[in-house]
Structure 1
């Protein structure tokens, strides 16, 4: 790793045999983009780099990570990622269903998403409900949100009485079979600044003006 101190971009996406990342990765303090970071199973504890170690990467702007454990909830994940002060883009993919019996009951995550985070992509989302800090009324700086592959997710929290101050203008919803919401609630209340929607394989997201490819853009209404 010592010979890679000048490295700014590392992409390990698609390395299917990669089961763990050595701790010394956290010494690459010039790294700005890290893709395909693997959070390994507990059998590699003590030798594998985990999310908490990434706080040493002060310049890290973009991160995509795969969770190969069944005991890490969204709350636990954010407790570590909140420490990445330069992060603007984050993608998380859960490769296993969350095992509630194994997962430690986390302390309530009371912080909001970092103001500098503009793009969030959650794949294989493991919960039935979004945590409070991910409810649209708390997303006042996030611009792009993608939630996909969440077989359990049912909604975006309590229906607001008026339009939220959510800043999200690009929303992608893919393969969410239990998510139930109508277009009026989605556009007028939860995401009033929306200019782009992808609605793919979400049979209970109803009455959206998406085209045959599941895409809606605000300029289509002009």
Structure 2
């Protein structure tokens, strides 16, 4: 399960860890000190082969594993060594016979069909970290919940601070009782491809700091309740809609109540986004340093053939016809440190996408889309260089045309470059993996 760190990786992107490191980092978020964690010898939660260990005596971690009858089993760990070290605790579904499970961390190790009865949530009411969905960054395994209403039992988890349903199919709506999880800090709904509705009551989660809605392509809109999440630091997958569709949805301007927001990921079907009004709003986020914008490219793919509703077939890309060679005027300067653009729909960079408007930018990622001109063809004057950009990733840009000398004039301070499947970027001294590093820099 470990991912080896490759020399191809840039420093900020070595983010995949083994299971123990994931658990350690989440426990640290809950205030657990290093000396209280036991990840050595017989107390490890997993063997090197990735199988759950039954020999437990001093920690509070559990794994969900499938039984032959598809019901949930635990590989549970006792906190004080009172239980038999080889015991295996099975979730009892019979009323009156179940005992609370004291585990504070529960992972779905490899169960693919979740049968989550209300009694199961009652038994795990002490859990702080609940990972029911997919948690390996490279995994594509299918996980499915039998019925969305089975998640109503989440209301019993009064102490949960970290909840992940990532990659679970069959969840068409998040039940309203989730709004009662007042201690929740992190809610991960990434890649719930069947998800269509988020309850308005989500605004009651005032302690929420991280919300991930990436790859939830069937969401009908962002609930107005999102604007009540004033402690959010990270928001991923926010949908920006056309004005005709957003009367009942949370808007970009509504998010200004999030004074602590430092990382924002936007998905939109509007081709000329961000417009001047959008840029004015983005400039008002005082703490915003990392921005990702994705333009509708993923709507043309079938993310989950087994769960996509017929409504997907009728959703179309909002084509606002814009002159590709004329950028909308804007003098707005954004204090971004990292900008990630996916499926950029225009051939020329808009005025806001210029060095003079992104003076603090040091990481620029552009992946896919129609972009051809990034400032290298300004014949009437010397191109303004991106002097602060140190890390640059250019991927799947079939129209972008530039040679190495033009590139170095445009990006004189780049220390790390990725050039992946950009056939018109010529004479670039990248290695076989499309990577170039400044030899003067030690990573």
The two structures have a TM-score, normalised by structure 2, of 0.45
Q: Deviations over 1:65-118 (max 9, x none)?
A: 1003345345454232112111010000000474216xxx9962112222xx10
Q: Deviations over 1:106-142 (max 9, x none)?
A: 962112222xx10000111122211234234554310
Structure 1, unaligned stretches of length 5 or more?
A: none
Structure 1 residue 191 corresponds to structure 2 residue 419: no
SS at match of 2:374: coil
2:211 to 10, 16, 28: 10
Normalised to the residue count of structure 1, the TM-score between the two structures is 0.85
* Distance change >3 Å, CA 58–CA 221, structure 1 → 2: closer
Cα pair distance change 1:76/1:162, threshold 3 Å: closer
Do the aligned partners of residues 193 and 97 (structure 1) sit closer, same or farther apart at CA in structure 2, a change above 3 Å counting?
A: farther
SS in 2 for 1:18: coil
Q: 1:169 is matched with which residue?
A: 390
What RMSD over aligned residues (CA atoms) do the two structures have, in Å? 2.7
Query: 2:365 maps to which residue?
Result: 146
Give the distance between the partners of 1:205 and 1:74, measured in 2 at CA: 29
Q: 2:354 aligns with which of 129, 135, 142?
A: 135
Larger CA deviation: 47-56 vs 147-156? 147-156
Q: What does residue 51 of structure 1 align with? A: 252
- The alpha carbon displacement at 1:54 in A equals 1.3
* Deviation by residue 1:124-161 (Cα, 9 ceiling, x = unmatched): 11222112342345543101001121224333252664
What is the CA–CA distance in structure 2 between the aligned matches of 1:193 and 1:131, rounded to whole Å? 22
Aligned residue pairs total: 216
* Aligned equivalents of 1:107, 1:140: Cα separation in 2: 19
Cα distance, 1:219 vs structure 2: 2.5
The higher relative CO (CA closer than 8 Å, separation ≥ 6) is in 1
Structure 2, unmatched stretches of 5+, are 1-201, 297-316
- Aligned pairs (5 A) from 1:33-72: 33-42=234-243, 44-70=245-271, 72=273
Change (3 A) 1:175 1:27: same
Identify the residue that residue 434 of structure 2 maps to in structure 1.
Answer: 214
Q: Given the alignment of the two structures, is residue 203 of structure 1 paired with residue 404 of structure 2, yes or no?
A: no
Q: Is 1:112–2:333 an aligned residue pair? A: yes
Contact 1:73-1:98 at 8 Å conserved across structures: no
Q: 1:125 to 1:75 in 2, by over 3 A?
A: farther
Question: Deviation digits for residues 4-63 of structure 1, max 9, x if unmatched?
Answer: 011101011122321311112011100000011112355532111121211111100001
The answer to whether the 8 Å contact 2:204/2:229 transfers is no
Alpha carbons 1:12, 1:36 under 8 Å: kept: yes
Distance 1:182 1:74 in 2: 31
